[in-house]
Structure 1
Amino acid sequence: MLNIEVRAMMDGRGLLFVLGTAIFTTASMLTKEQGIMVIAVCASYDLFVYHKVKVTDIVLFRLNLYKKEGVLEGLLCLSAIGMFLIAIRFYFMGFKPPEFAPSDNPASDSDSLFTRTLTYLLLPVLNFWILVCPRVLSFDWSMDAIPLVESLFDYRNIFSLLFYSILTYSCYLLLNHIQNVKLKLTKTHVNGNGVSHYHNHHSNNQNSKDSIKYNFKISRQHSRRGSSSSTESDDHVDFSKHYKIFTSQDILIISIAIMVFPFILATNLFFYVGFVIAERILYIPSMGFSLLVAQGVWILYKKFILDSSKRKIIGVTFIVLLCLLSAKTVVRNRVWLTEENLYHSGITVNPAKAWGNYANVLNSQGKTAEAEQAYKNALKHRGNMADTHYNLTNGLNRPITVQNQWSQQAHNMAHLNLAILFAQLGRHKEAEKIYKHCANLDTSGLKDPRLHENTKISALYNLGRMYSEQDKNQEAIEVYKEALRRRPSYYAPQSIYNMLGEVYMKIGNLDLAEHWYNEALKSKPDHIPAHLTMAKLYQKKNQLVKAEEWFQKAKKIDPNDFLVDQHYGQFLGETGRLQESAEMYKTALRKKPEDFELCFNAANVFRQIQDNALAEQLYRKAAQLKPHVATAHMNLGAMLHFNGKLIEAEKSYLEALKLKPDDVTTQQNLQKLRNLIQSQQVKGGV
């Protein structure tokens, strides 16, 4: 906590404290926005714990009375740090408040001030109940997890009334207690003649001021060093009583400060937040609550110092409570181990969101029927979820139709995903239309507008990529340049620069290709794709030494990136260094054994070095990873053919012809295979 005194400022300690507070507050804010409220906690400590400032002096703006104690300096430093950090935060937000979807915080979207007020009054009560009794927890409390309080006769208003009444009364007792303690501290110690003197903290009498300084110093000496000299025994006894009050009061102040200030940002008091209840915002307040509980147990324990049976009951109760909450923590941690467990656990609290996420997990596991039912369950609870409609109609490994117009109109991320799927299926005209529509969608009023602006640029990026794959290179260049013109400042441009370079390299303009690769590296010096494309550029220029240097640079930046190993291995194979290429592919396969392209290309290299067993194994894996790719089955058939597994080879050739009936190479290989089988049968018959 921060303590700034004039003397400390002079010897440099104050500057060190300020710097430390600024650094740790910044780190806290960068971790989570509510971390900035540590400033308010520091101010509470400085005012009420260290300097024992009276509340009436704050209310009446009389802090200048504490000038010699450094109170104003401390508050000014803390305020400066806080305002600086807030300014930085607003700068990165574009000086605009965050925007959220209505479903994230339904109360903020309500047109009724009455409904908003009653609901916002209830939410702190529910958050406090989670602290007291964390029995029901959820990964998401948005949508209708907490129904709006729309009537004065809603029974939940009773809890709000009770909560704020207790809170008001507790604050009254605390403030009254602070005032009483301040009055006790302003008494001087009893002198040798037994005469007791009282003083005003800001008396104009110089002797009184000297006495105050002396008495306060003696009191601190007792508290910190435990002095027990005979000449000061009376002072020690009096201050010990005060010190006990200080300890209980200080803990109470700090506990409440830690509980209240970090939570204020979640109350919708200053701006609307993107959630109803978020358990993550209770992490810091829970520290204050734990401190408060521990102090309460300690006070009860001391109260019954002469009753051992009651002390045992208190101790056992506390230990049992601690064990129960620890067990709850262990159970909850296990829920968070997998997405499946986490989303399933939230069904009782937020069924719409939980069923939708749970369905996505089931679908990714290939459990199509269960995923479909889960999507339908989600839509039963909330029928207007665009992403769920989209996933239900298009995400269950079934042919895609254009019967999801509702989701196309409601969710620009669904547009992007749908266009990508159309492009993958070869439906380029439909993909082109949706990419262009996505890039021009109106994203005002949507949750996280930055994300949606990024999605629009991503649509242009993917459209340019599709054009490039179709050899529509001029169209690709125009789309990429449009993406750069429309790119907001927060969208990283290196991928667009790199793709522009690739298109120029395809059309043979190597100078412009190198220019855009360099632009990508300027934007992000450790951009791996730019290193790989630069290496391929020098390979095309037949500058093989430079090309290999770029591969090695990429490998040095990220030794664990399998793509670097894959492209490096491809380079080594194309330059005739097949054994080195095979070793590089083995390294890549250890990192990413389930990648189709990697398995397929590695199989080609192992076939060339006549490691036929491993080549066959990798071709099999490639065909399993992408069973709809004809070349995978064709190459597997050829390898099986070469290895003498003729019946299996015939099956693979036939599978390849099902997928690509007009492939001449497969037809010729199949004919050769059947001739071989027939000749072997003839020999066997002879």
Structure 2
Amino acid sequence: KPYFSLPQPLHLLLGSHARCGVVAAALAVTCYWNSLECGLVHDDIFAIRDNADVRPGTPLASAFSDDFWGKPMSSNVSHKSYRPLTILSFRANYALHGLEPCGYHAANVGLHAVVTVMVGWLCRRLVFPEPDLTFLVMCLFASHPVHTEAVTGVVGRAELLSSVCFLISLISYTTSLSHSPYQQTLRVLVSILLGGVAMLFKETGATVFGVCLAYDLLVHSRLQLLRCLVKRTSPVFPTLSPLLLRSLSLLLTSTLLLITRVLLLHGNLPRFSDHDNPASFSPLVLTRALTYSYLYFFNARLLTFPLTLCYDWQMGSIPLVETLADTRNTGTLLFFIFLLSLSISSLFRFSSRKTSSRGVLLSLLVMVVPFLPASNLLFRVGFVVAERVLYIPSIGYCILLVQGVKTISLRLRPLPHPPTASPLPPSPRAPRSHLPLFLLVLLLVGLFSVRTVVRNSVWTSRESLFRSGLATVPHNAKIHYNYANYLSDSGRLDEAAHHYYQALRLAPDHASSHNNLGSLPGLDLHEAEFHFREAVRYNPTHYRALYNLGNNLLNQGRLEEAEKALRESLRVNGEYHGSLMTLATILTDTGRGQEGLRLMERAVGVAPSDTLVRNNMAALLLRQGRVEEAIREYQYSLSLDPTQTTAMNNLARAYRSRGENSNAEHWLLQSLGVSQDIDTLISLGALYFNTGRYPEAAQVFSRALDLQPHHLESQCSFVQSLIQLRQEEEAEAEARAALDRHSHAPCLHLSLATLLSKNNSRLQEAVHHSKLALEAEDVQSRAEASLILAVVLKDLGQLDKAEDSYRQAIALSPNMLNAHMNLGALLHIRKKYAEARVYYEKALSLHPGNRLVTENLAKLNRVHKQGSSAL
């Protein structure tokens, strides 16, 4: 056999490029089929779920003015990654099925299958005319485990789409070299166009121009360059003018794209910390050089032995190489010796009649040039190792591996017969078997496939991804931090705190760990303040930590310090709507309502489609008495997201403030249609109770108790409703049963005091429960307890104490009608007529036309007249 080929049955089955492509694409889909069960995890959350540019309500143009994460490119907190066409692909997914993850993953799997077929196309046109070898390259690429981050992680779509354009551009350019000048021009223009499009999917797509230029110089035109510039056997200009034109077009295009990309930075480079890329922040040149060199070897090792994979290699996952004595330098040295030997031998052995050297050179170019942006040689990057950036370089690796297989197969050709003088023809020699070699390659593809399927399961959820990272690199503080974030979001606060502390043990200066630890619910305010201040100390531009510090100080009542922290947060990022909203609230509370309103309007301008911003704007308007405008804001917020129950509940409150109870009821019922929330049930029950619809109120409070049987507010409200329905026995039973769990609940004691005050034989019990109800925290409840106590004391004949209790009730609630009316009647009985008149008149001012008060005043007037006549 002149070269490696598949066993005969497979060769007959897969003997054409088309059939090979179909089988390889099927393998790609099979390897990633279980990724369809994965969710949106890690960076997917920020790039898709939380990215307003993915939503249909955001203008399409925003995708071209914002970075990959939805922040304006002009912002000084922007990540500066510019991939607008990838964002539009996410937007197309969202338009079809919202945030359902399966569709996003299906698109990625389909794109991976397309790239696999195109890799075969590239091999067929440039390296392996034999379908057997092309098939092996496609199978290795389709199943390689290092691709899981790019394929199973949805944000890896940037790599996939960029690769599609990269490959078409490369194929178009390289095939143009063997066409007529007209066809060549067209194909080069297509290549340039697709290279530009690849860059809009991901910036590294532009490296295709470097691959094209290097291939042209080192492979296609190398012999011409040697004849013209070294041997001088050919005229320079006529021979090299097509090459010069092609090279100039590529260089000019690359320069224009580079200038455009720099302009998109708006004068601000992305900000990275030493945690993102420790080597790049080392002050020692030797450390940087040794570590970078080792990282190149590490990436090559990931391609060759993809056993240990991790979604994040930052923050100490790979310790710095600081001395020449570090044993890791041995692997680095051997890697560079191999790479240089391979490159030099291919260059010196190259001839147009051989494809082996061409295959090696092409594979090296595809491995090295697209990796350069991630190498730290051109600029600092924000990661140590990222498996997704190996997606295109792995094409070169697969070509190189199969080229090695082909080279070995050539060594296994039948040996030539020695010369002989015999007139008889020599007997044919049996070819050496290629089956063991085939089985080894097949075994490698099988191992790759199994590893890929297993690795996909890691991306099923945030928890599985982060737990896998902890198992792989437990000394990575960033993974502890990410896992703590997940635990915090899941309500597992103690575990979250543990992993935040672990992250800080490994990296005490990690500002975000301090910030998020301080943000945990239930943490002592002073401890939280310490962590926020530590976050700001280690990263003075951490605007979220400044925002959280401001909120913390606000909760401590330190308004001036809170305002200072929030203003500093806005100095760092003037478009952070959280700081704008909180500062607006402080200004409103301190009598600077107009300035507060202007800040809230800024927040709306920054995030016009953010429902939280709209709701806060409406709340501020409501506090300023601008109810109609507040209602419009709530309605607009609901037009952005018709399922947000918070806006529905707040809109109901706004309508209640205007006395429009039917509209309030409508929105509370709408909210309950979305979610059976206990707070919404309580609001609806209170609406029914306050409008005298006691049967409906009791029914709603009963539903609330079905959700949370021991919810204190629901129990108290249910008992009050039963009292109004005159179901005293049931009300008392409910109250006493609730007291078994909430023995010091003032609202339950108040309800029992109300019930018992109606029974003369149980007045002492009523006094006991009234006094316990006086321990209530809110003033109105204490006023009601004082009123009931006064009524009971009056019935017991303890008039002095009753009078004192009435006065206490009025002091607590100056506009309590019954307290004024009853105190007036008590003073009337005790012949304190002048004082009685004062309280009667106050009661009448609170309730003009009150029949009882009017009659008592008339009696008081008659007594006054009789007294005057007697004089």
| Rounded Cα–Cα distance in structure 2 between residues aligned with 1:659 and 1:366 | 32
Q: Which residue of 2 aligns with 1:464?
A: 584
| Per-residue Cα deviation, 1:613-664 (whole angstroms, up to 9, x for no partner) | 773377569989xx9xxxx954662245325544466646549989961331
Q: How does 1:502-581 map to 2 (within 5 A)?
A: 520=605, 558-559=641-642
Shift of 1:264: 0.6
| Rounded Cα–Cα distance in structure 2 between residues aligned with 1:619 and 1:427 | 37
Question: Kindly tell me: are residues 621 and 540 of structure 1, through their superposed partners in 2, closer, same or farther at Cα, counting changes over 3 Å?
Answer: farther
Shift of 1:27: 4.4
Q: Which residue of 1 aligns with 2:246?
A: 74
| Rounded Cα–Cα distance in structure 1 between residues aligned with 2:360 and 2:588 | 66
Q: Which residue of 2 aligns with 1:156?
A: 328
Q: Which residue of 2 aligns with 1:663?
A: 779
Question: Kindly tell me: are residues 27 and 122 of structure 1, through their superposed partners in 2, closer, same or farther at Cα, counting changes over 3 Å?
Answer: same
Most deviating of 111-120 and 611-620: 611-620
- Is 1:358–2:528 an aligned residue pair? no
- Is 1:642–2:721 an aligned residue pair? yes
**Contact in 2 for aligned 1:535/1:547 (Cα 8 Å):** no
| Per-residue Cα deviation, 1:160-194 (whole angstroms, up to 9, x for no partner) | 2111111111111221233x22xxxxxxxxxxxxx
Question: Kindly tell me: are residues 173 and 409 of structure 1, through their superposed partners in 2, closer, same or farther at Cα, counting changes over 3 Å?
Answer: same
Give the unaligned 5+ runs of structure 1.
Answer: 182-241, 441-451, 481-494, 500-519, 677-686
**Contact in 1 for aligned 2:229/2:236 (Cα 8 Å):** no
Q: Which residue of 1 aligns with 2:303?
A: 131
- State the SS of the aligned residue for 2:434: helix
Output the TM-score relative to the length of structure 2. 0.53
Q: Which residue of 2 aligns with 1:285?
A: 393
Q: Which residue of 1 aligns with 2:596?
A: 476
Shift of 1:112: 1.6
Q: Which residue of 2 aligns with 1:615?
A: 700
- Is 1:497–2:607 an aligned residue pair? no
- Is 1:142–2:247 an aligned residue pair? no
Most deviating of 650-659 and 421-430: 650-659
Most deviating of 161-170 and 645-654: 645-654
| Rounded Cα–Cα distance in structure 1 between residues aligned with 2:433 and 2:186 | 50
Q: Of 302, 323, 345, which residue of structure 2 is paired with 1:173?
A: 345
**Contact in 2 for aligned 1:44/1:253 (Cα 8 Å):** no
| Rounded Cα–Cα distance in structure 2 between residues aligned with 1:473 and 1:542 | 15
Question: Kindly tell me: are residues 64 and 671 of structure 1, through their superposed partners in 2, closer, same or farther at Cα, counting changes over 3 Å?
Answer: farther
**Contact in 2 for aligned 1:105/1:276 (Cα 8 Å):** yes
- Is 1:35–2:205 an aligned residue pair? yes
**Contact in 2 for aligned 1:419/1:431 (Cα 8 Å):** yes
Question: Kindly tell me: are residues 658 and 311 of structure 1, through their superposed partners in 2, closer, same or farther at Cα, counting changes over 3 Å?
Answer: farther
Shift of 1:337: 2.5
Q: Which residue of 1 aligns with 2:371?
A: 263
| Rounded Cα–Cα distance in structure 1 between residues aligned with 2:774 and 2:490 | 27
Structure 2 residue identity aligned to 1:616 = F
Q: Of 435, 456, 466, which residue of structure 2 is paired with 1:343?
A: 466
Question: Kindly tell me: are residues 647 and 167 of structure 1, through their superposed partners in 2, closer, same or farther at Cα, counting changes over 3 Å?
Answer: same
Q: Which residue of 2 aligns with 1:374?
A: 499
Question: Kindly tell me: are residues 534 and 146 of structure 1, through their superposed partners in 2, closer, same or farther at Cα, counting changes over 3 Å?
Answer: closer
Shift of 1:147: 2.1
| Rounded Cα–Cα distance in structure 2 between residues aligned with 1:602 and 1:72 | 79
| Rounded Cα–Cα distance in structure 1 between residues aligned with 2:215 and 2:578 | 49
Question: Kindly tell me: are residues 6 and 282 of structure 1, through their superposed partners in 2, closer, same or farther at Cα, counting changes over 3 Å?
Answer: closer
Question: Kindly tell me: are residues 524 and 152 of structure 1, through their superposed partners in 2, closer, same or farther at Cα, counting changes over 3 Å?
Answer: closer
| Rounded Cα–Cα distance in structure 1 between residues aligned with 2:342 and 2:655 | 75
Q: How does 1:426-445 map to 2 (within 5 A)?
A: 428-439=559-570
Question: Kindly tell me: are residues 327 and 569 of structure 1, through their superposed partners in 2, closer, same or farther at Cα, counting changes over 3 Å?
Answer: farther
Q: Which residue of 2 aligns with 1:232?
A: none
**Contact in 2 for aligned 1:118/1:149 (Cα 8 Å):** yes
| Rounded Cα–Cα distance in structure 2 between residues aligned with 1:589 and 1:64 | 80
Structure 2 residue identity aligned to 1:642 = S
**Contact in 1 for aligned 2:577/2:603 (Cα 8 Å):** no
| Rounded Cα–Cα distance in structure 2 between residues aligned with 1:529 and 1:346 | 33
| Rounded Cα–Cα distance in structure 1 between residues aligned with 2:777 and 2:524 | 21
Structure 1 residue identity aligned to 2:460 = L
| Per-residue Cα deviation, 1:502-554 (whole angstroms, up to 9, x for no partner) | xxxxxxxxxxxxxxxxxx3xx7775667877699989988989x977x87776
**Contact in 1 for aligned 2:276/2:383 (Cα 8 Å):** yes
- Is 1:315–2:438 an aligned residue pair? yes
Output the TM-score relative to the length of structure 1. 0.66
Aligned pair count?
553
- Is 1:410–2:538 an aligned residue pair? yes
Of structures 1 and 2, the larger Rg is shown by 2
| Rounded Cα–Cα distance in structure 2 between residues aligned with 1:534 and 1:467 | 16
State percent identity of aligned pairs: 25
Q: Which residue of 2 aligns with 1:18?
A: 189
Q: Which residue of 1 aligns with 2:383?
A: 275
Q: Which residue of 2 aligns with 1:419?
A: 550
| Rounded Cα–Cα distance in structure 2 between residues aligned with 1:276 and 1:612 | 61
Most deviating of 25-34 and 252-261: 25-34
- State the SS of the aligned residue for 1:265: helix
**Contact in 2 for aligned 1:90/1:96 (Cα 8 Å):** no
Question: Kindly tell me: are residues 634 and 558 of structure 1, through their superposed partners in 2, closer, same or farther at Cα, counting changes over 3 Å?
Answer: closer
Q: Which residue of 2 aligns with 1:483?
A: none
Higher RCO structure, 1 or 2 (CA under 8 Å, sep 6+): 2
**Contact in 2 for aligned 1:125/1:160 (Cα 8 Å):** yes
Shift of 1:131: 1.1
**Contact in 2 for aligned 1:653/1:670 (Cα 8 Å):** no
| Rounded Cα–Cα distance in structure 2 between residues aligned with 1:603 and 1:321 | 67
Question: Kindly tell me: are residues 334 and 94 of structure 1, through their superposed partners in 2, closer, same or farther at Cα, counting changes over 3 Å?
Answer: same
| Per-residue Cα deviation, 1:469-502 (whole angstroms, up to 9, x for no partner) | 5554145257x3xxxxxxxxxxxxxx64356xxx
Give the unaligned 5+ runs of structure 2.
Answer: 1-168, 415-429, 723-730, 751-772, 793-871
Most deviating of 272-281 and 301-310: 301-310
Question: Kindly tell me: are residues 541 and 102 of structure 1, through their superposed partners in 2, closer, same or farther at Cα, counting changes over 3 Å?
Answer: closer
Q: How does 1:49-64 map to 2 (within 5 A)?
A: 54=224, 56=226, 64=237
- Is 1:397–2:522 an aligned residue pair? yes
Shift of 1:103: 2.5
**Contact in 2 for aligned 1:102/1:109 (Cα 8 Å):** yes
Q: How does 1:100-139 map to 2 (within 5 A)?
A: 100-139=272-311
| Rounded Cα–Cα distance in structure 1 between residues aligned with 2:321 and 2:491 | 41
| Rounded Cα–Cα distance in structure 2 between residues aligned with 1:73 and 1:115 | 42
| Rounded Cα–Cα distance in structure 2 between residues aligned with 1:619 and 1:430 | 41
**Contact in 1 for aligned 2:365/2:396 (Cα 8 Å):** yes
Question: Kindly tell me: are residues 161 and 622 of structure 1, through their superposed partners in 2, closer, same or farther at Cα, counting changes over 3 Å?
Answer: same
RMSD, aligned CA: 4.8
Question: Kindly tell me: are residues 134 and 649 of structure 1, through their superposed partners in 2, closer, same or farther at Cα, counting changes over 3 Å?
Answer: same
Shift of 1:152: 1.8
Structure 2 residue identity aligned to 1:340 = E
Structure 2 residue identity aligned to 1:415 = L
| Rounded Cα–Cα distance in structure 1 between residues aligned with 2:608 and 2:488 | 38
- State the SS of the aligned residue for 1:346: helix
| Rounded Cα–Cα distance in structure 1 between residues aligned with 2:249 and 2:341 | 32
**Contact in 2 for aligned 1:105/1:142 (Cα 8 Å):** yes
| Rounded Cα–Cα distance in structure 2 between residues aligned with 1:542 and 1:377 | 49
Most deviating of 556-565 and 73-82: 556-565
